[in-house]
Structure 1
């Protein structure tokens, strides 16, 4: 799934940044309750807002990924 699809499905603003040593994916979910599970090549993002829940799978590039959420902003860092 692309970040554009994530933005449309969840109502968030999402961006992907590429660097020499990896990528950073950032999505702002505002006041939604968000959780994320990172598997080897996919991040499963679940967002709940106003009683409505959406689940999205975001394909990740090859590398070591870690995710964290701070004030409704999801950040996934992938190191190559």
Structure 2
């Protein structure tokens, strides 16, 4: 399954940004309390308040959370 489709199915609105060597999927959680992300195997577990989203990741994905903005970076 494609990452964008997986994020949409999990209810996460994302913006896709393409660069020469990578693609980033960015989701801004705004000012929700308690946003966190953990990566277990090939799954990113995103918790935002009362919500939990399990996102299956491609093998080469890197996941970042900064100021309640989730970024999933994938090499092209």
Q: TM-score range by the shorter chain?
A: 0.5 to 0.7
- What TM-score, normalized to structure 2? 0.67
Residues in 2 aligned to 1:76 and 1:67: alpha-carbon distance in whole angstroms: 5
RMSD: 2.4
**Gapped runs of 5+ residues in structure 2?**
none
> Separation in 2 of the partners of 1:55 and 1:6?
9
Flag the structure with higher strand content. Answer: 1
1:28 aligns with 2:28: yes
Map Cα deviations across residues 18-44 of structure 1 (whole Å, 9 max, x no partner).
667554332111111310011221100
Unaligned runs of 5+ in 1: none
The alpha-carbon distance between structure 1 residues 22 and 62, as it changes in their structure 2 partners (threshold 3 A), is farther
Deviation beyond 4 Å, 4+ runs, structure 1: 16-23
Q: Distance in 1 between matches of 2:40 and 2:75?
A: 14
